[in-house]
Amino acid sequence: MGLFRPAWDSNNQGKAVNAVEKITDEAKLTRIAKEARRWEARLAAVERLTDQNLLADIALNDKDGDVRLAAVERLTDQSVLAVIALNDKDGDVRRAAVERATDQSVLADIALNDKHCNIRRAAVERLTGQSVLAAVAQNDEDWSVRKAAVERLTGQILLAAIAQNDEDYPVRAAAVWRLTDQNLLAAIAQNDESSNVRRAATVRVVNLRYPDAARESMFYGNGSVSVDWNFIARLTDQGVLAAVALNSENSYVRVAAVERLTDQRALAAIAQNDGNKDVRKAAVKRVTDQNLLASIALNNKNSNIRKAAVKRLTDQSILATIVQNDEDYYVRKAAIANLTDQGILATIAQGDRDGYARQAAIARLTDQRALAAVAQNDEYGYVREAAVWKLTDQRALVAVAQNDEDGYVRAAAVWKLTDQGALAAIAQNDEDWSVRVAAVKSLTDQRILAAIAQNDKNGYVRKAAVERLTG
C-alpha cells in the first residue's frame, strides 16, 4: 500500500510539505489536516484552511501542539477559544488562545489562576475589568504580571499605593507613569530607592506641570533623564526642581537646579549623596541646617565640600574642632574665618600646630593679652608681625620693638608706637636701618632728629630725619 501513498502523506518532511503547498482544494486540505502522518504537513494544510468548525476540531484534538497552535491562530469562535485557553496542555497554545479571546470572565479566570506567568500576563493585557486588574496588580507573585495589570489600571488611590509600596521597581515605575498627583510624584522622584522610578517620576511630574515646555525640553530614554539647560531657568516649583536636581543625568543641569532649590530636605540628600562633587558643593552652599552642615564639615572626604560646609557653619565648638583636626589648611582657615569666640581664637593663635592657622586666628583676635603673648613668643616672624599689627598695648609694642630678633617685626611694632622715648632709643640704636627709618618717621624731638640727620651712618635714615626736620 505504501507505493500508492500520496505525496502529502510521505514520511519525507520536505516532500510532504511541498506537496501540500501545491494543493488548493479545500476538501483535500481538510483531509490532509486531519490525516497526514507528518505534523509539518498537517500544519501546512491548517495554515490554508478557513473553515471554523474544522479549525476548532483541529485546535481541540490534534496531537501536536504546533498544529493546534496554527489552528488557534486562525480561530474566531470565542467559545472554543475559551475552552482551549483554559484547558490545553501546551502553554503556547493556551497563550495563543488567550491572545484571541475577548470573554472577560474567561480572561479573568486565567489572569487569576493560570500557573504560567506569561499566560496570566497575556490575559491581563486583554482585561478591562478594574476590580480583577486591581487584584492582579496587588497580589500576583510575578512582577511582570503585576506590571501589566498596573498599566491598565485607572484608579489613582491604588496606583498611588503601588507606586509607593510594590517591592519591584518596574511595577512602581509603571504606576508612576499613570499617576496624576503631582505632589506625590515629586515626593517619589526624591525618595524612591530606585533611580529608574525616581527618573520616571521626574519626567511624569514635569510633563504634567509644564506640558508644553516639557515636550521640547525633557527627554527620557534607556532609563535616563535629559533636561534642556534653559528649561531649568524657567522652573520655580520646588518639587520639580528637586526631582530634576536628584535625577538628571547631566551634572551641569543638576547644579543649575540645585542653585534654584530651597527645599532643605532635597538639598541635604544631594549634598550627601550626589556622585558629582560639584553638585554636592552647590547643594552644601544652600543648606542651612547646622547639624547637617556640621556632619558634612566633619566627615565628607572631599576637602572642597568640607570647606563649603564650614563657610556656612556658626557653631563655635564645631568650628574649633575642625580647626584642631581637619587635615586641610584651607578648611581650617575657613573655620577660623567663622570663629567669633575670642577664647577659642586666642587658643588657636597661641597653640595651633600650623603657623598659617595661627596667623588666620590673629586676624579675628581682639584680646590684647593674647595678641601680646603671640607677638612676643611665636616661633615665626610672620605670625608675630600679624599680632603686632593688631596690638594697641604700648608696653607690649615697646618690648617687641626693642627685643624681637626679626627686623620686619620690630619695624611693625615701631609703626604702632607713640612712646617718644622708646622711638628715640630705637631711632638711634637699632641695628637695622629700616627699623631706624620707621622710628625716625614717628619722632617729634627736633634735637634728636638733628643729631640723626648729621650722624647716622645710613643715608636713608639721615634723609628721613632731614625730611622730618624740614617737612
Per DSSP, what are the bridge partners of residue 219? 226
User: pLDDT: is 246 or 367 the higher one?
Assistant: 367
Q: pLDDT averaged over the chain?
A: 91
Q: What is the pTM of this model?
A: 0.59
Please report, to the nearest 10 degrees, the dihedral formed by the alpha carbons of residues 265, 268, 273, 276 taken in order: 120
Coil, helix or strand for 241?
helix
Residue range 50-72: mean pLDDT, rounded: 94
Q: What is the pLDDT of residues 67-111, one digit of tens each?
A: 999 999 999 999 999 999 999 999 999 999 999 999 999 999 999
Per DSSP, what are the bridge partners of residue 218? 227
Residue 217 has pLDDT above 60, yes or no: no
Under DSSP, the state recorded for 313 is -
What is the predicted pLDDT for the residue at 12?
Answer: 81
Contact status, residue 1 vs residue 26, Cβ threshold 8 Å = no
Cα distance between the two ends of the chain:
144
Comparing C-alpha atoms, which of 158, 99, 379 is closest to residue 149? 158
Q: How confident is the model at residue 150 (pLDDT cuts 50, 70, 90)?
A: very high
